[in-house]
Amino acid sequence: MPVISVPEAFNEVELYVDLRPVFGHSLFLKCEGFNFAGSIKLKAAVEMVETAEREGSLTAESTLVESSSGNLGVALSMIAARKGYDFLCVTDRRCNLSTRLLIEALGGQVHIIAGQDANGGSLGPRMDYVRWLCASDDRYVWLSQYTNPDNWKAHYRTTAPEIARQFPHLDVLFVGAGTAGTLMGCARYFRGRRRPVRIVAIDAVGSVTFGGAPGRRMIPGLGMSVPPPLLDTSYVDEVIHVEEADTIRACHRLARRGFLFGGSTGTVVSGAAQWLARHEEAGLTAVAIAPDLGERYLETIYHDNWLQDLYGDDVLGSDELTAGS
């Protein structure tokens, strides 16, 4: 019987879903949302906070501040509550209402940035606001998930070895690209061990991460409006860009089988399914990483009015996924 005294002590990391019955391809989905933060971001949050404490930049008088589209904000608010830190999450209007309420329930504060940069993204203005806060008051400590190497090191030390233990003959790994922390940690791990694992990054259409044209992105999580500093494309074998309509279709297709996953997971699964449809190889062992669960998307991806307003009446009219690029 597991007994814990701190919330980050619980994190189920050995659960996989076999998606062959859903998508017709052999694909194992590593579920990372079964912890008290509800997403894979717990790993990076713990690593970054504990390093800052060891190095002395984070003290009892500090106020944690971070720019986040949601999930890291929840993880940091949970850790801040446990450790007694004040926490401020700087986000934008795409952040789900349930996520904002959860951060506040855990004692954190939420500041929503309305402005956009020249590409129509909100990340630049969010980071500008965080920089202004830190310059105005030295009690603010910004862990900076976008530049902090402990972001990718968390997955180098945990996520990738967890997969390697369960799948010693892994052929291809599908990883969503946001800050690139999970992607770089896993890619560096397998490359460093000279494992013949193909690393396929999954990105959202409208993201500029891999040099794509900027465009509207309404689903928070994957994708960036500025190039992620942590990304080293030499570790990536292939990139798949996924339309948001396909993210939504994948989420609903999983939900009809009883699996309620979040938008980031829907994007990764959609991209993986499209790649596997083009690479029919006997005995191929493929794993995709599911960063989040679906409860925080009930008012967006799983809400008919939201879908119809943004994507039209036909977004769920077909199960067919478009061909990824």
Closest of 286, 263, 268 to residue 25, by C-alpha: 286
- Mean pLDDT throughout 272-281? 91
Which pLDDT score is estimated for 4? 94
**pLDDT > 60? residue 8:** yes
Amino acid of residue 120: G
Which pLDDT score is estimated for 114? 86
Q: In what order do the strands lie in the sheet with 16-18?
A: 16-18, 28-31, 286-290, 172-176, 198-204, 238-242
The listed CATH number (3.40.50.1100, 3.40.50.720, 3.30.420.40, 3.30.1960.10) that belongs to domain 41-142: 3.40.50.1100
Q: How far apart are CA 24 and CA 276, in angstroms?
A: 10
> pLDDT by residue (tens digit) across 215-233?
889 898 899 888 999 999 9
> pLDDT by residue (tens digit) across 31-85?
999 999 999 999 999 999 999 999 999 999 999 999 998 899 999 999 999 999 9
Which pLDDT score is estimated for 121? 73
Q: What one-character-per-residue DSSP string does 39-71 give? A: BTHHHHHHHHHHHHHHHTSS-TT-EEEEE-SSH
Could you tell me which residues come within 8 angstroms of residue 309 by beta carbon, excluding any fewer than 6 positions away?
Answer: none
> pLDDT by residue (tens digit) across 107-122?
999 999 987 776 667 8
Q: How far apart are CA 206 and CA 212, in angstroms?
A: 7
Q: Tell me, which fold does domain 7-35+159-311 have in CATH?
A: Rossmann fold (3.40.50)
Q: How far apart are CA 187 and CA 198, in angstroms?
A: 9
Domain boundaries, the chain: 7-35+159-311, 41-142
